[in-house]
Amino acid sequence: MVNTLSITKTIHEWLFSVMPEGVASIVEMILIAIVYLGVFAIAGLFLVLLERRVAAWFQLRIGPNRVGYQGLLQTMADALKLVSKELTGTVKADKFLYNLAPYFVIIAALMALAVIPFSAEFQAFDINIGVFFLIAISSVGVIGILLAGWSSNNKFSLIGAMRSGVQTISYELSVGLSLLTMVVLTGSLQLSEIIEVQKNGWLIVQGHIPAVIAFMVYMISGTAETNRAPFDLVEAESELGAGFHTEYSGMKFAYFFLAEFINMFLIAAIATTIFFGGWLSPFGITESIPWLGVFWFMAKTFGLVFLMMWFRWTFPRLRVDQLLTLEWKYLLPINLVNIIIMALFVWLNLTIQF
């Protein structure tokens, strides 16, 4: 099988041989961006189809089954419909911020995707503050939602945006603390090093009960962070029409729609990397077959994506007071105690080694 590193090295050497160093570096960055945009688009289309299939399964109905074989081209047809739709807006909207808002959401998701290690060879940027970068960049997307709600000059959009601000600021504390609990265990913020530590066993096993608690809190908080049911008060169709993106149509609406699914994928991918060994195979054969690492990473990630979809089609929507009570009275105190317990486990060297 062709080694990915050899391909990238060949392209790198060829670019630097035919053009100046500065231009070659820019071309490399553009090529990387194009690859990730492709991954972004394909993953988004597949996740929308998967969501509709899972919803149909839970609700005992058929789901998409007309466009293409078994409905596989349905999301592509929906994408073409959105691209061809007219871009409408309100007369009194703040045009600049209204048009800018979708790009905040989509770019934040794309930047987070760049540091995810799909395999030992497939990672755009392996920075030494990977976990910190992910926590920081996940906070940027909410700016787009706040801008969208405020600039639309629509009361329903503004209410949805304010709810998003409250919800995201609250639950990102629990997301960050649950990840920091695992950083205490590994002693590193670099995602590739965190995966290397797990060659002796997944962290959710090495870290005993504190790691399991951190994972549970992370998945609950991550679901809330992505504004998905039962934490979808930001969009709340029965109350707000569509929430913060009520006044958006066509491709701009598609950006918000796509970003939600990519953020769900990101939450699952981070959990896979931190808790379940990332691209490492449970059978120890990943390194002999390079692309098998991508398979294991995607299999674990889509397993967690299914879990988040399971949440959506099982639990009813929470009220605003219940949403904030869950975070501030339960998840946050549990997280604070849990990180102290994990620190004690590490200090006493009680982690499980295989």
pLDDT in tens, 111-170: 898 899 988 778 888 888 999 999 999 888 889 989 999 999 888 888 888 888 888 889
**How far apart are the C-alpha atoms of 68 and 116, rounded to whole Å?**
32
Q: What pLDDT, on the 0 to 100 scale, is given for residue 347?
A: 87
- Tell me the chain's radius of gyration from C-alpha atoms: 21
> What phi and psi values does residue 6 have, to the nearest 5 degrees?
-65, -35
Ramachandran bin of 349, using left for φ above 0, alpha for ψ from -120 to 50, beta for the remaining angles: left
**How far apart are the C-alpha atoms of 139 and 324, rounded to whole Å?**
18
Ranges of the chain with pLDDT below 50: 1-2, 354
Q: What pLDDT, on the 0 to 100 scale, is given for residue 354?
A: 44
Q: What pLDDT, on the 0 to 100 scale, is given for residue 2?
A: 45
pLDDT one-digit tens code per residue, 255-284: 888 888 999 999 999 999 999 998 888 766
Entry pTM = 0.91
